[in-house]
A and B are shown apart, each in its own frame.
Chain A
């Protein structure tokens, strides 16, 4: 499964980088979103193995299920998801405003003067 996940993450990064190299403002933002998905999955695979059907929830006696998933990476990803949501919301607003003043989707036209 690691190999499949690795390939998937690689695809997300490749796609993300391709999109941020474009001139379009929309594509830039979509690229950043893809990258954040890629990062989240990457952290996910960094846990103590990728486990099926064993979420890190302990029973009433505090005993974890056998072959349980790594809770640390999940906590990290939760934090990262929320943070990247804040950033995405901000950059979206910024893009909206930049687009208003320049009247274009073309990043090359986003210069200070003119």
Chain B
């Protein structure tokens, strides 16, 4: 069933394109049936998923690489899968209304459903590599959704930044997971199990003791932190708000950004509880928690404000995972659900405001409560939950958060730091929520807003946010036992041992309640001064904006790369020849000097040496020097011709008559061609390079000459193996029916070479013909 849910969702994504035709909202709701069905199917599994027990289904995929379509359902994945399909249902229905006049709705829904399938795969995967595959797919679909309005440069930039950060993090994650697998292998896990979550977690203690733990964890953390928009990678999330609001509500608040949290929560029982784990998660998570909340209080764009509270809450969740312990596990589960409910409602309502009022800038809104009373009611519910006001779901989550910090087994400074982050975040949420509500819904309408007609509650569109908003109050009031049944197994997975708990609104007058009440009071107090507070320093200097920094970093890499390649790639052939020469001297020359030169014997006595042989040999260097020093073209060509003639002479002297003949013939032909072709050039060479360059080239080419000479000497004086030559001499007449052994070799023994050789000649002719004819045609 699990593979079916994931794969069918992915396979049916093209159905989204149906939304091109027909009544848009209706098609939207019809498509919403797809996730709704999955939601129902998953919900039925709830009774079987208790504690950390799993439903597991495996389809083999790439056994040699340890990749399999392995899906497992336990408490944590069920919680996430329900959030994905549940909110996915609402979002798709909502999108049909929200984008009813957008011709690209079909494409949008295609991406959205693809994303949903990928996200389901991510949370249901029982194998780290399978999870990674879906992880990457969510990055890509997110990119497409953010860049949906790609005519706008802002959308393209937001899409690119999100992709660079998440895909870059993804690559780190991949490396981390592979190293983790290596750690598991060394911890004695069976080779075909090293990428299984269960096996890794079971071998956690051994992995943590081994050398692979630290690099693997650091790389995995980069992956998780980038995906979940943790400081300093947070900036892509506000940039992702360029996506149409349904996508923001779904990907960038409720689901995809929680993938990092999900991964860490899942790995916590195996890899957690080490100093590195605590330090990294509590520091980064805690800082992002507080930082995001504070930045949110200063934002005027509703979606940006929500984006910062989102990344803040993700930080809170990561901090919780870092704190560890039973309460933290409970708090993670509760807050994932509570946040998904209120944040998706908030985003969808932000979309409604944008859609109806034509702006989502708090400075241009106001007085909406009279025009959109129902919207005001539902956003109020969601905001109250976010603020953590008692009897709302957010309150339950916050109580547990505080409890987790208080009860953590970490040293006191960590606990207090965590507590401080919680209080700062809680206060920030209250201020941000108040700002949002006050400037959008209270007061009087702005002049531009007043001129807009038909600003009213959009009934169809309001259905989707109304449900999670209502749940934010209904769950704590009426459904807590049911929610506990869902959340306890999830918490058990994070904790690593079965936990059973009954959530309650009222825990008595304890420290947590005091802290939480204090935060609420402080928040309400400060909320009155939200305007002066927003104007207070410190304002982040412009250069410290992460998005700009990333732009500059990428541009910097471009520039450095351009500089290097610009220096290397000059378009001048002699430069490239120079690289080739130096490379040859380095890769061949160095081993030659090291391994061959010491054993080289220069004495090769040859009693038969004739004086005319030496004379012929001496002519070659002389002709070469003449060719080099020649000032006129003609004398250079003649000198090269002399070299050719001397080579032929060598062939005659040393028993190669066929070679001599061919060489001479070719030499004559080549010289004629040379003279013909270069007749159009000036007769004398211009002096094109400086003396220093000539000296450098002379030294380098001299070294090449020495190298080759040395190689010839070394090889010719080394006889380890008997050459094949005797065979050909013996069999030439008998088997090859010829007395000239060279000819027999050419046409018979190695006839294949000759076939290739003739082909080369033929091909050269075709090429030459093309070169010459094409010009004539053009003229």
In the complex, A touching B, CB below 8 Å? yes
- As a 0/1 sequence over residues 11 to 35 of chain A, the CB contacts with chain B under 8 angstroms (1 = contact) are 1111111111111111111100110
A64 to B725 alpha-carbon distance, docked (Å): 11
CA of A42 to CA of B114 in the docked complex: distance in angstroms? Answer: 63
Q: How far is the CB of B692 from chain A (nearest CB, A)?
A: 13
Instruction: Find out whether the CB atom of B715 lies under 8 angstroms from the CB atom of A93.
Output: no
When A21-B697, A58-B732, A71-B729 are in contact, do A83 and B760 touch as well, CB less than 8 Å? yes
Quick one: given A56-B729, A59-B739, A72-B745, are A18 and B662 in contact (CB under 8 Å)?
no
**B702: A residues at CB distance < 8 A:** 14
Contact of B578 with A21 in the complex, beta carbons under 8 Å: yes
Chain B residue at minimal CB-CB distance from A97: B771
CB distance from B439 to the nearest CB of A (A): 57
Q: Once bound together, how far apart are the Cα atoms of A10 and B617, in whole Å?
A: 12
CB <8 Å contact, A56 and B680 = no
Give complex CA distance A17, B597 in Å.
22
The answer to whether A93 touches B662, judged by C-beta atoms less than 8 angstroms apart, is no
A44 and B700 contacting across the interface, CB-CB below 8 Å:
no
Whether the pair B578, A52 counts as a contact (CB closer than 8 A) is no
Q: Which of B82-90, B160-168, B473-481, B618-626 contacts A (4 or more CB under 8 A)?
A: B618-626
Taking the closest CB of chain A, its distance from the CB of B226, in whole angstroms, is 40
B681 touches A99 (CB 8 A): yes
Find out whether the CB atom of A48 lies under 8 angstroms from the CB atom of B723.
Answer: yes
Give the segment of B36-44, B56-64, B360-368, B642-650 that binds chain A.
Answer: B642-650
Are B655 and A13 in contact, CB atoms less than 8 angstroms apart? no
**Other than the known A55-B656, A97-B772, A99-B680, what 14 A-B pairs have Cβ atoms closer than 8 Å?**
A4-B614, A12-B705, A16-B701, A17-B581, A19-B628, A23-B574, A30-B627, A71-B741, A71-B745, A74-B656, A77-B656, A78-B659, A87-B760, A97-B775
Mask for B697-737, Cβ within 8 A of A = 1, else 0? 11011101111111011011100000111001110111000
Q: What are some 14 contacts across the A-B interface (CB < 8 A)?
A: A1-B604, A5-B712, A6-B710, A13-B701, A16-B701, A20-B577, A24-B686, A24-B688, A28-B573, A30-B636, A70-B725, A78-B746, A107-B572, A108-B688
Q: How far, in Å, is A8 (CB) from chain B's closest CB?
A: 5
Considering the complex, which residues of chain B in the window 47-72 have a beta carbon less than 8 Å from any beta carbon of chain A? none
Assembly CA distance A12 to B764 (angstroms): 25
Q: Determine the distance from Cα of A64 to Cα of B702 in the docked complex, in whole angstroms.
A: 40
B624 A34 Cβ-Cβ under 8 A: yes
Q: Do most interface residues of chain B lie in helix, strand or loop, or is the interface mixed?
A: helix
Evaluate contact between A71 and B757: CB separation under 8 angstroms.
no
On whether the beta carbons of B608 and A52 are closer than 8 Å, the reply is yes
Q: Is B606 an interface position by the 8 A CB rule? A: yes
Chain B 626-637 near chain A by CB (<8 Å), digits 1 or 0: 011000010011
Do residues A82 and B643 form an inter-chain contact, with CB atoms below 8 A?
Answer: no
Complex contacts, A38 vs chain B, CB 8 Å: 708
Q: Which residues from B are CB-within-8-Å of A112?
A: 571
Number of interface residues of A (CB under 8 A): 91
Q: Given known contacts A21-B581, A22-B574, A68-B729, is B604 in contact with A58 (CB within 8 Å)?
A: no
**Are B733 and A62 in contact (CB-based, < 8 A)?**
yes
- Provided the pairs A30-B637, A58-B741 are in contact, do residues A74 and B659 lie with their beta carbons within 8 angstroms? yes
Query: Is there an interface contact between B655 and A8, defined as CB atoms closer than 8 Å?
Result: no
- Say how far B12's CB is from chain A's closest CB, in angstroms: 49
* Interface range for B: 35 or more
Task: Decide if A18 touches B698 in the complex (CB within 8 Å).
Answer: yes
Give the chain A neighbours of B558 by CB distance below 8 A.
none
CA distance A93 to B732 in the complex (A): 39
List residues of chain A with CB within 8 A of the CB of B655. 51-56, 68-69
CB pair A105–B686 under 8 Å, yes or no, is yes
Distance in angstroms between the alpha carbons of A16 and B81 in the assembled complex: 70
Contacts of A14 in B (CB 8 A): 624, 701-702, 704-706
Q: Does B506 contact A (CB under 8 A)?
A: no
Give the residues in chain B near A37, CB-CB below 8 Å. Answer: 643-644, 647
Q: Using Cβ atoms and an 8 Å threshold, which residues of chain A touch B729? A: 56, 58, 64, 68, 71
Interface residue from A12, A20, A85, A110 paired with B666 (Cβ < 8 Å): A85
- The answer to whether B460 has its CB under 8 Å from any CB of chain A is no
Q: Kindly list chain B residues whose C-beta atoms are within 8 Å of the C-beta of A76.
A: 753
Checking B572, B651, B681, B763 against A26 with a beta-carbon cut-off of 8 angstroms, the contacting residue is B681
CB contacts (< 8 Å) of B152 on chain A: these are none
Which residues of chain A come closer than 8 Å to B624, judged between CB atoms? 11-12, 14-15, 34
Nearest-CB distance from B394 to chain A (Å)?
A: 63
Residues of B contacting A107 in the complex (Cβ-Cβ under 8 angstroms): 572-574
| B510: min CB distance to chain A, Å | 77
Question: Which residues of chain B from 557 to 604 have any CB-CB distance to chain A below 8 Å in the complex?
Answer: 571-574, 577-578, 581, 602-604
The residue that B742 contacts in the complex, of A16, A21, A75, with Cβ under 8 A, is A75
Q: Is B708's CB under 8 angstroms from A13's CB?
A: yes
A41 to B741, CA, bound (A): 19
Query: Which residue of B604, B620, B654, B669 is within 8 Å of A8 (Cβ)?
Result: B620
In the bound assembly, the distance between CA atoms of A68 and B643 in angstroms comes to 26
Q: Which residue of B lies closest to A33 (CB)?
A: B640
CB-CB nearest 4 A-B residue pairs:
A14-B705, A10-B709, A62-B733, A15-B624
Which residues from A are CB-within-8-Å of B685?
24, 26-27, 105
Q: Is B677 an interface residue (CB 8 A)?
A: yes
Are A21 and B701 also in contact (CB < 8 A) when A58-B729, A72-B725, A92-B674 are?
Answer: yes
Known contacts A37-B644, A69-B655, A106-B688; is-contact A89 B705 (Cβ 8 Å): no
Q: Which of B745-760 contact A (CB under 8 A)?
A: 745-746, 750, 753-754, 756-757, 760
**B768 contacts A by Cβ under 8 Å:** yes
Assembly CA distance A54 to B753 (angstroms): 25
Q: Which chain B residue lies CB-closest to A64?
A: B729
Of B628, B637, B643, B712, which contacts A45 at CB under 8 A?
B712
In the assembly, what is the distance between CA of A26 and CA of B682, in Å?
11
**In the complex, what's the smallest C-beta–C-beta distance from A76 to chain B, in angstroms?**
8
Kindly state whether residue B761 has any CB partner on chain A within 8 Å. yes
Scoring B residues 667 to 691 as 1 if CB is less than 8 Å from chain A, else 0, what string do you get? 0011001100110111001101100
Instruction: From the candidates A2, A9, A25, A26, name the one contacting B636 in the complex (CB within 8 A).
Output: A26
Q: Is the CB of B673 within 8 A of A78?
A: no
Judging by beta carbons under 8 Å apart, are B688 and A92 in contact? no
Residue in B657, B689, B724, B725 with the greatest tally of chain A CB atoms within 10 Å: B725
Task: Check B556 for interface membership: any CB of A closer than 8 A.
Answer: no
Is A93 within 8 A of B740, CB to CB? Answer: no
CA distance A89 to B762 in the complex (A): 12
B663 at interface, CB cutoff 8 A? yes
Contacting residue for A18 out of B614, B697, B706, B753, CB 8 A: B697
Q: Which residue of B lies closest to A67 (CB)?
A: B655
Query: A19's closest neighbor in chain B, by CB?
Result: B628
Interchain nearest-CB distance for B36 vs A (Å): 59
Contact residues in B for A94 (Cβ distance below 8 Å): 771
Known: A11-B620, A21-B700, A88-B670. A52 touches B654 (CB 8 A): yes
Complex Cα spacing A105 to B612, Å: 38
- Does the CB pair B625–A78 fall under 8 Å? no
A57 CB contact (under 8 Å) in B698, B701, B739: B739
The listed residue (A20, A21, A72) touching B723 by CB distance below 8 A is A72
Min distance, Cβ A35 to any Cβ of chain B, angstroms: 10
In the complex, which residues of chain A have a beta carbon less than 8 angstroms from the beta carbon of B697? 17-18, 21-22
Interface centre among B624, B628, B633 (most CB of A within 10 A): B624
What distance in Å separates the Cβ of B330 from its nearest Cβ neighbour in chain A? Answer: 67
B633 lies within 8 A of A26 (CB): yes
User: With A2-B604, A24-B685, A52-B653 in contact, is A96–B666 under 8 Å at CB?
Assistant: no
- Among B633, B658, B688, the residue within 8 A (CB) of A74 is B658
CB nearest to A90 among chain B residues: B764
Contacts of A93 in B (CB 8 A): 677, 767-768, 771-772
Question: Given the known A-B contacts A1-B613, A4-B617, A8-B617, are A46 and B716 also in contact in the complex, defined by CB atoms under 8 Å?
Answer: yes
* Assembled-state Cα–Cα distance A26/B673 (Å): 12
Q: Chain B contacts of A55 at CB under 8 A?
A: 655-658
Evaluate contact between B708 and A4: CB separation under 8 angstroms: no
At the interface, yes or no: B609 with Cβ under 8 Å from chain A?
yes
Nearest-neighbor residue (CB-CB) of B651 within chain A:
A44
